[in-house]
Amino acid sequence: MKAVEKNVLSPATTVRKISLMKHEEKIPDVVALRSADIEEIVSLREEVLIRGTTYPNKYFDGDTDPNTRHYGAFINGRCVCCATLMHKDIDGVPGWQLRGMATDPTLQGKGIGSQLLKLIEDSARAENPKGVLWCNAQLPAARFYEKHGWRPESEEFVIDGVGPHRRMAKRLGNLPHA
């Protein structure tokens, strides 16, 4: 019980605000990054990741588990990027599985996903500096994770109805990415 408590993630109570100045096409509004409720993010998850696949529905097992954390990036209250962390140890090491990472298709490639991933990594690191984050990355997105210091941990495998994947992981004890 104690071990589980140690790995409960505190919600990111502070809202992180970014404006994506470095990108040529500047996003005019402030992007607020914060913890979120499942209902705030699930429509975007469905639009980007579920529609057109054989996932039975937009909710994942564990979405309402007390240890599960949802995160979102919001522009004027609209969710434009989302991700979910579920407490799942990996190889006996305290770990969290990152699931459902998605950015609004009209806003991909502008740095929002990177900023949300940083917030998630920082939240997890604050709880357990030696924990591991891992995910089953869709193959086209593997580069995104690699850019942030995640490393492949498996051969390619196919999830029926979704496509090729590779397990990626990041040990939080490593230096944070730039």
From 18, 79, 81, 169, residue interacting with ligand COA (rule: CB under 6 A): 81
From 79, 137, 169, 172, residue interacting with ligand COA (rule: CB under 6 A): 137
Q: Does 60 bind ligand COA (CB under 6 A)?
A: no
From 46, 67, 75, 108, residue interacting with ligand COA (rule: CB under 6 A): 108
- In the complex with ligand COA, which residue's Cβ is closer, 101 or 133? 101
Strands (E), the chain: 16-18, 31-36, 69-75, 78-87, 95-103, 132-138, 151-152, 157-159, 163-171
> Measuring CA to CA, which residue among 129, 69, 58 is closest to residue 98?
69
Q: Per CB under 6 A, which region of 34-42, 120-128, 139-147, 170-178 contacts ligand COA?
A: 139-147
> Measuring CA to CA, which residue among 94, 9, 99, 96 is closest to residue 63?
99
From 111, 127, 149, 171, residue interacting with ligand COA (rule: CB under 6 A): 111
